[in-house]
């Protein structure tokens, strides 16, 4: 819900392609990773595969993550780069696609 609220309040839109955000969303969970909904869904599927000890569900999880990765690379990132330009480029340098970037590591 936090992701959807961030899209509505900050982005003035929704995660759905038919009503995309009008502003680049960089707050809430999007300040940590660029794709928190996909990460959350992948973690939930992976957890379920462990709970149910299901190799089939684990295979589905891997497939889901591969499809998400390809979709993000082929469609989402080019679309966001076209819509938000240099703001999106700066965001991608600050925030990881799938993993949070640790600031100040080694200090």
Q: Whole-prediction pTM value? A: 0.87
Given the structure tokens 């936090």, which residue do they identify?
Answer: 2
Q: pLDDT value at position 2?
A: 87
Low-confidence ranges of the chain (pLDDT < 70): 104-107
Q: pLDDT value at position 105?
A: 53
Q: pLDDT value at position 102?
A: 78
């Amino acid at each position: 819900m936090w992701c959807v609220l961030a899209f509505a309040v900050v982005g003035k839109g929704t995660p759905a392609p038919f009503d995309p955000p009008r502003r680049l969303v960089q707050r809430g969970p999007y300040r940590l990773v660029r794709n928190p909904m996909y990460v959350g869904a992948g973690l939930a599927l992976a957890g379920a595969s462990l709970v149910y000890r299901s190799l089939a569900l684990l295979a589905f999880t891997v497939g889901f993550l591969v499809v998400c990765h390809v979709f993000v690379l082929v469609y989402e990132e080019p679309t966001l780069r076209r819509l938000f330009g240099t703001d999106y480029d700066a965001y991608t340098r600050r925030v990881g696609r799938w993993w949070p970037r640790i600031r100040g590591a080694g200090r």
